[in-house]
Structure 1
Amino acid sequence: MLKSLRIWKFLGVILLRNVYVISLIGITTPHHLLAQTTTENYAAVSEDQIINNDSESQNTSVYFNRGIDKYNQRDFPGALSDFTKAIELRQDFIEAYYNRGILRIDLGNYQGGIADFYNVINLDYSRTEAYYNRGNIRSISGSWEIIQGQLPILLK
């Protein structure tokens, strides 16, 4: 019983901008869903179409969608490259930061994942999934003090 109490010690309900989120900080598997884009026009395309396209926002969407395709095909280095390129083209691309953070978790680059989730939070502090994943990364790495210190901030 004591062991199960310790496991659920960090289970908490967080109220964030009138959205209740159950934060299972202490579970060692992060939330593994990639963000999807609302545009369907730029699904998987070839490299020459990206280079010949004039619009920067279209290029960003192409790289982002191609990164999702590569992730789903388990081509993690290719997906990382495409998400990074989308971020280089548009520094405020929240979904690209989020997806790259998930990908970095899969690759074991926890500090890189935390950095990407910080960027998501800095761009839109209401993105609760970024807090959730950042907390899970910290629980995997055993940073309990940091997690406990951030709970009061999230409850405000």
Structure 2
Amino acid sequence: MTETTKRLDDLIKSGLAYFSQASESDLEYKRFPEKWSKKEILGHLIDSAINNLQRFTEIQSAEKPFKIRKYKQDELVIANDYQHAELEELLQLWTALNQRIGIIVQSQTENSLNFPIQLPDGELSDLRFLMTDYVDHLGHHLNQLTTDLK
């Protein structure tokens, strides 16, 4: 999982670089009321990190296959009011969560990476997939942020 951890570290650095140069108005701009702003996408990434950190650690001692439950993404973004949160607070939280995830990913053994999981649709996979998918998801959204959503 060294490659996955390296990619996660690179994504954290590129995300921080992007947010350090972006204007507040660009980050809060919403083309449509029902679409997320770039700041809300960052909030979604925080929620994703929180949920996946919990999954990655719970699976270590949980009954197998570990059942992945969905979470209500839109409702969490609204409940946390990321649109009006301080950017520095969001960045510190996002960074700390992802650094902790990187430590958890790096500490996995070949045995633990094969721990079975059951996805919400009933499909079976393993912890390796879940961790790689998390980093892919993060990369997808960071790519969204660096493109013009207007």
For the pair shown, the structure with the greater C-alpha radius of gyration is 1
TM-score by length of 1: 0.27
TM-score by length of 2: 0.27
Choose between structure 1 and 2: higher helix proportion. 2
* Higher RCO, Cα 8 Å, sep 6+: 2
